[in-house]
Copies of this chain bind each other. A is one copy, B any other.
Amino acid sequence: MILTVTLNAALDITYRVPRLRPHTTHRVAEVVERPGGKGLNVARVLAALGHDTVVTGFAGGPTGGALRAQLAALGAAGTLRGRITDALLPIAGATRRTVGVVDAHTGDTTQLNEPGPPVTSAEWSDFTESYGRLLREAAAVALCGSLPPGVPVGMYAQLVRDARSAGVPVLLDTSGEPLRRGIAARPDIVKPNADELAGLTGSTEPVRAARDARRRGARAVAASLGADGMLAVTADTAWRATPPRRLAGNPTGAGDSAVAGLLSGLVEGLSWPHRLARAVALAAATVRAPAAGEFDRATYEEALPHIRITEHPAVA
């Protein structure tokens, strides 16, 4: 199985309103709730691709209960090719909500993200134990998203080291100080976006910044460049993967789909060009999906053979 870690899971709520008018009252026409947080999004795409996936992290309170019930319903619906197993750890604090308000007139989304629940030292120490056990069965692990309050900023560095000791390939997708600390622990892949890469390295030139990120400890850097696709820098080579054309739509979750593409490709033994093609096609299919964070299988299958891969040897 593939393990995904979401320390700051969320109950994602989407409201559709005819038009968002600040400082007025709106009757919400449509409410959609789904399990959220980067690692849970990655797991959903992995399972859709046919990989059995275990999700871990923290969940608590009535919102955590709702999230777990929805995760169970997702598995029971029978639309996923792989299984999703819930290994989230219960905590005393309540799982945060994110509220996305979609303006039906403009199509734009206004996002309101609650802070995460406080996590006690006893809770995160329980988590590291449980994580160690889960690693024994894992073919790969993805560490995704922000840290909730109370979790030490070096937590991802520790989880990277544990994965490496267990011989499990590890992908890290976070930002800020947790990324800076985590990268020094030598993860197999980091997947920053252009902003996160610039924040880490100080360089806005992606190839230069990715090379810098490798020097800081990442064995490979796969940077998502939005509509421009992805850039990967490994020990030997650099690749650019470019979608056939710019796609209009909702980019929410595109980065998480790319992580699922990279990680499934790694587990299946695909070469870097094939991993990147899958990641970029999945990201494009997510942008085109009607619901945020889902992916459109037809767009994926259609885009996959048309992703352009170019190689720049010795750039690293």
> What is the count of identical protomers in the complex?
2
CA distance A62 to B61 in the complex (A): 9
Counting contact residues on chain A (CB < 8 A from B), the size range is: 20 to 34
Q: Which residue of B lies closest to A24 (CB)?
A: B110
> Which residues on B sit within 8 Å (CB–CB) of A22?
20, 22, 103, 108, 110
Interface residues of A in 12-52 (CB under 8 A from B): 13, 15, 17, 20-29, 31
- Give Cα A297 to B69, complex, Å: 42
A109 and B23 contacting across the interface, CB-CB below 8 Å = yes
Once the chains bind, are B65 and A113 in contact (CB under 8 Å)? no
Pick the contact of A99: B21, B61, B99 (CB < 8 A).
Answer: B99
A15 to B13, CA, bound (A): 14
- Cβ of A66 within 8 Å of any chain B Cβ, yes or no, is yes
Taken together as a complex, chains A and B put the C-alpha atoms of A22 and B27 apart, in Å, by 17
Given A62-B63, A66-B62, A99-B99, A114-B28 contact (CB < 8 Å): yes
Contact of A31 among B20, B25, B106, B114 (CB under 8 A): B114
A290 partner residues in chain B, CB cutoff 8 A = none
Chain A 95-132 against B: per-residue CB contact (8 Å), 1 yes, 0 no? Answer: 00101010100101111111100000000000000000
* Chain B residues in 8 Å Cβ range of A109: 23
A26 and B111 within 8 A (CB): yes
Shortest CB-to-CB span from A206 to chain B, Å, is 23
CB nearest to A94 among chain B residues: B66
For the complex formed, measure the closest distance between the CB of A115 and the CB atoms of chain B, giving whole angstroms. 7
- Residues of A whose CB lies within 8 Å of any CB of B are 13, 15, 17, 20-29, 31, 61-63, 65-66, 69, 97, 99, 101, 103, 106, 108-115
Can you report 18 residue pairs joining A to B where beta carbons are below 8 Å apart? A13-B97, A15-B112, A20-B22, A20-B110, A21-B110, A22-B22, A22-B103, A23-B103, A23-B106, A24-B111, A27-B115, A28-B113, A28-B114, A31-B115, A61-B66, A62-B62, A62-B66, A65-B65
